[in-house]
Amino acid sequence: MPQADDWLSSTRQHIEISTPFRALLSALGLTVVGTLTSFVVSLVFRPTATVLLESSLPAVSALLMAKGSQVGFGVFLGVYFVATRQWEYTRLRQPTGNDLLWVVLGNAGLQLAVEASSFVLPFFGLSLDVLSGTGSLDVDLTTWPVLWPGIFAFLYVLPALVEEQFFRGIVQGRLSQEFHPASAVVGGAALFAGAHGLYAIGQSPEFLMTYLLNLFGQGLVFCLVYERTDNLLTVALVHAISWTAIDFPFFGLL
């Protein structure tokens, strides 16, 4: 039956062509739904943390407020994994020597991304100065000279791991299934930056463009680290360490 064979061949070709597009739509849809969930949950979580902890534990309260978006991503991930059982997107293992090397390279890459942004942005009439002082935390790990390892693990690494599970594990994971690794890295970075634009609502166009371009550069680093290691814990460590740098523009709220 040549006609049936031709139809099946045409159908298979159509499916093959449309599969990358479906992967892109899936990654985009998950980014939108997950980010909106995170945003709404953070609006409730932040004032709640303030009321419960600010008077007795002000430093902890400040850190928790800055992690409201990660709490929201955690809520989304809980629902997502219960509903889909797609555990293959959870790539977690004990870091190897190569992973630890990428932690070092990743943090160096983040600093280079800031330097690159400082060089490139003026060509668009923009400057990182517009981000100075926004989102920075007045709390650092020296606040807890004895307990800082626990604080770092639970209020830095764990929230970073939740966010990385969403953006790298699920979103970039979807893209990596159908696109070349370089395209998945760029696409993942673009979705990462675009999602955070929600937290810049009400700011000036100059601020928004600077914010998004700066985050895109940082997203490239996170996505590259994940692509090279296939380990969420590695990129989470890079992300968590970046939060300890109080001079990192607008990184306290991410």
Q: Give the model's pLDDT for residue 147.
A: 81
For residue 194, what are the contacts with CB-CB under 8 A and spacing of at least 6?
Answer: 31, 212
Among 25, 79, 81, 73, which residue's Cα sits nearest to residue 45?
73
**Top-confidence residue, 239 or 245:** 239
Q: For residue 254, give the 3-state DSSP assignment.
A: coil
For residue 228, what are the contacts with CB-CB under 8 A and spacing of at least 6?
Answer: 102
pLDDT band at 112 (very low <50, low <70, confident <90, very high): very high
Q: Give the model's pLDDT for residue 135.
A: 54
Q: Give the model's pLDDT for residue 247.
A: 44
pLDDT band at 249 (very low <50, low <70, confident <90, very high): very low
Q: Of all helices (H) and strands (E), which one includes residue 182? A: helix 181-196
In the predicted structure, residue 15 carries a pLDDT above the cut 50? no
b/e map 160-172, b = 16+ CB within 10 Å: bbbbbbbbbbbbb
b/e map 30-48, b = 16+ CB within 10 Å: bbeebbebbbebbeebbee
For residue 82, what are the contacts with CB-CB under 8 A and spacing of at least 6?
Answer: none
Q: Give the model's pLDDT for residue 145.
A: 76
Over residues 42-91, the pLDDT tens digits come to 999 988 888 888 777 878 888 888 899 999 999 999 999 999 999 999 99
Residue count (the chain): 254
Over residues 131-151, the pLDDT tens digits come to 876 555 556 777 777 788 888
Q: Give the model's pLDDT for residue 143.
A: 74
